[in-house]
């Protein structure tokens, strides 16, 4: 039985994800910025929260940890390299480790750059990956604690996942990312076509994520960068882009 994933929009542009395994009754919360909407969304669906998975330490990904844990008694799993900055962690993981949700296995992938210990969680049998702030629709995370070389390696690692893999990122940044992508690759017809869809969706107040690895390979200027130097150039340009 497949994992059911639900989107919870919070704050100005964050997405918290609920991953529910009906067979076991387990539910994991991925990157809870806040608690109340997450608890309400789970209750509305009749889902029992048993775990929290954190991809990195930033408060808009961990701010709901303590309250959700107090309400549910759930276990919190996150990057070992950032344990000092996530005091609510129960389980520390690093690349190569596995996390389970019922009978489903999530493989931990190290993707440092946005933060020094950032991880992603790939559920190969479900063709799903939770990437936090490393990979966005047509974008990547800012290099707050790492290098362009690390982010380039991340793009290669994530880009090598099966093309049908569904990518759950943590922010609604697609329209802004797409406007820059049109400048970075003005002759890319796939980007132009995608942006028409994105603009229409946002005009109607609709979300534009999740995305897929195939779509990012075709339209993401950071995943498409030929080397770390080009990614660095594009990241700097995007940081200054208005």
Going through the chain in order, the beta strands assigned E by DSSP cover 4-10, 14-21, 26-30, 48-53, 75-79, 91-93, 98-101, 104-110, 119-123, 128-132, 135-136, 139-140, 166-169, 211-212
Domain ranges for the chain: 4-240
- pLDDT, tens only, 69-94: 999 999 999 999 999 999 999 999 99
- pLDDT, tens only, 167-215: 999 999 999 999 999 999 999 999 999 999 999 999 999 999 999 999 9
Q: At what angle do helices 174-184 and 189-203 cross, to 10 degrees?
A: 160
What is the spatial distance between Cα 85 and Cα 55, in angstroms, rounded to a whole number? 12
The predicted model gives 104-117 an average pLDDT of: 98
For residue 1, the model assigns a pLDDT of 53
Can 21 be counted among the known catalytic residues? no
Active-site option among 20, 56, 118, 122: 56
Can 60 be counted among the known catalytic residues? yes
Helix (H) or strand (E) holding 159: helix 148-159
Model pTM score: 0.97
4-240 CATH fold = Metallo-beta-lactamase; Chain A (3.60.15)
Can 171 be counted among the known catalytic residues? yes
- The tokens for 159 are 């880009």
Q: Is the pLDDT of residue 2 over 90?
A: no
What is the spatial distance between Cα 8 and Cα 45, in angstroms, rounded to a whole number? 12
> CA nearest 60: which of 173, 161, 210?
173
């Amino acid at each position: 039985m497949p994992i059911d994933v639900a989107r919870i929009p919070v704050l100005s542009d964050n997405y918290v994800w609920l991953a529910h395994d009906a067979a076991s009754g387990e539910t994991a919360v991925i990157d809870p910025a806040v608690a109340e909407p997450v608890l309400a969304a789970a209750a509305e669906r009749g889902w029992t929260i048993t775990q929290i998975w954190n991809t990195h330490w930033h408060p808009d990904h961990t701010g709901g940890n303590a309250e959700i844990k107090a309400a549910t008694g759930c276990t919190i799993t996150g990057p070992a390299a950032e344990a000092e900055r996530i005091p609510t962690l129960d389980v520390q993981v690093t690349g190569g480790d596995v996390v389970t949700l019922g009978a489903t296995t999530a493989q931990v992938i190290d993707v440092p750059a946005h933060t020094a210990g950032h991880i992603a969680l790939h559920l190969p049998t479900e063709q799903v990956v939770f990437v936090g702030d490393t990979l966005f629709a047509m974008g990547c995370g800012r290099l707050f604690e790492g290098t362009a070389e690390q982010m380039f390696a991340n793009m290669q690692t994530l880009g090598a996942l099966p093309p049908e893999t569904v990518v759950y990122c943590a922010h609604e940044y697609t329209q802004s990312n797409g406007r820059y992508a049109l400048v970075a690759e003005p002759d890319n017809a796939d980007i132009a076509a995608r942006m028409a869809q994105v603009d229409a969706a946002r005009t109607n107040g609709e979300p534009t994520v999740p995305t897929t690895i195939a779509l990012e390979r075709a339209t993401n200027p950071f995943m498409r960068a030929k080397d770390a130097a080009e990614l660095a150039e594009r990241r700097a340009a995007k940081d200054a882009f208005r």
